[in-house]
Amino acid sequence: MRFSFRAACRRVPAILATAILASSAGAQEQSGPAFRPGALLTTDNTNYLMSVSSDKQAGIVIFDGLEKQLDGIGAPLFATRPFSISMPLEGAEKGVKIGVIFNGYIWRLKGTDISLITTVNGQTSFMDFAKFAPASGGVMGEECKQFGSEQALDVVRRKVDTKYSVAPKKPAIADTRVPNALAAENDGDFLHCILLDVRSASDLRINVVFALHRHNRDTSGYLNVTTISALVQSGTK
């Protein structure tokens, strides 16, 4: 999958404007947690861009080419892709809750298992896409329902169907399968969420692993992450 990275950069303010609806409508002077620009990718060589909202209550990282695919007779049966990134954060103390949202695309034929394993500041979660099969269109993980406010959940729902240029797009492999081939059990974008209880932190330390497994060489699978968004859900009092 490839999207226009330059066009995506131009649309970041619009994405963040939507995200801010879920964050605290604080005053211009912020005394609570705040995101800062300067995300650092500690592994991989994927292109990325981070932008922070004007009130510092939301941050988004856009990726270009953060994907993994298994297809073809010569491809292995197993594959993983790990990556790590940190998002600078200040003023985060005990009692702060931050929602972290992973948005991407999943395409999986029968006979392929694909999982997304995420750890944010020591809190680990797991998304097994087989549990959502058969599914076409948007898939939302159960964790997204843990978001405390209706505004935050509304942003999550709308982001599943986002029309922005950074929205996950169907990979080319999905349109090149021969007729009467195995049916796709997943074919659409996904949303995976973590509601993080922050005790004290100077950044969000995000570790992600793509795990793909084919039971035979006649099947295929693909996974990408296009954006990671973080929203301040509540601050210290």
Runs of H (alpha helix) within the chain: 5-20, 150-160
CB 217 within 8 A of CB 81: no
Q: List the beta strands (DSSP E) in the chain.
A: 34-35, 40-41, 47-52, 58-64, 67-70, 78-92, 96-109, 112-120, 123-128, 135-136, 139-140, 184-198, 201-214, 221-234
Query: Between residues 185 and 176, which one has the greater pLDDT?
Result: 185
Query: Between residues 132 and 152, which one has the greater pLDDT?
Result: 132
Q: Name the CA dihedral angle for 63, 115, 107, 193, rounded to a multiple of 10 degrees.
A: -60
CB 224 within 8 A of CB 105: yes
Is pLDDT of 21 > 50? no
Which of 41-50, 71-80, 97-106, 147-156 shows the lowest per-residue confidence on average (mean pLDDT)?
147-156
Q: Is the pTM of this model over 0.85?
A: no
Res 167: pLDDT: 62
Q: Give the type of residue at 174.
A: A
The single residue listed with the structure tokens 């270009």 is: 64
